[in-house]
Amino acid sequence: MADRIQKVLAAAGLGSRRHIESLIKAGRVRVNDQVAQPGDKLNPQDRVSIDRRRVQLRPAPKGARQTGPKVLAYYKPQGEICTAADPQGRRTVFAGLPKLKQGRWLSVGRLDLNTSGLLLFTNDGALANRLMHPRHQVEREYAVRVLGQPAAAQLRALTDGVPLEDGVACFKSISPGAGQGRNRWYQVTLTEGRNREVRRLWESQGLQVNRLIRIRYGACKLPRNKRPGQYWELSQQEIDALLAV
């Protein structure tokens, strides 16, 4: 059956649908030697190329083992950036990932330069979109160390909702953790991934975050035995759990 070209190429791990659409608009995608247009549909027998390099989209031969999308979990250290390349020459989260025979790794959301913890990658654009899209309400959980002791009214405001420059935001839950003196740990959850949202929420109450670690994304948790800079591939069972939202 024919399907939209953006959907097919994203599912093949060749980029997000938005990225594929930009390639098409730039005239870099061809179908059967003709320049593709946004909204074109592909059939299994169509010949597709990007920058005149053939992309293999044929179904697997009969009897061949079917393989689903790959998902990597990565323990991001502080100081790495979540882009494929950096003009300033800083190390990116993609630098140490294994190479793919076809397609590329897509990050599921981002973590800012000074945030460490769990970051997911997949070669499947549709899966990445499903895990990131706000309508699916996939929980993200963070361990956050705050300078100072928040008052009860401040914690209530953070779960009731506070206005930020890009709209009202809130934590789904806040749980107190360990801490003595001026630093206190909390575990917080939220179901969206706006830029620096966790930090901005605390800052809205006049509180400073001096340590931030993502410890869970959906059903995937950061194992205690992993160290910053390590990555590992999720099993099919773990991927199924991620998608059970």
The CA–CA distances, whole Å, from 192 to 16, 49, 81, 188 equal 18, 35, 20, 12
C-alpha 104/C-alpha 161 separation (Å) is 37
Task: Write the DSSP string, the chain.
Answer: --EEHHHHHHHTTS--HHHHHHHHHTT-EEETTEE--TT-EE-TT--EEETTEEE--PPPPTTPPP----EEEEEEPTT-BSSS--TT---BTTTTSPPPSSS--EEES---TT-EEEEEEES-HHHHHHHH-GGG---EEEEEEEES---HHHHHHHHH-EEETTEEE--SEEEE----TTEEEEEEEES---TTHHHHHHHTTT-EEEEEEEEEETTEE--TT--TT-EEEPPHHHHHHHH--
Which residues are CB-contacts of 153 (< 8 A; sequence separation ≥ 6)?
none
- Catalytic site residues? 112
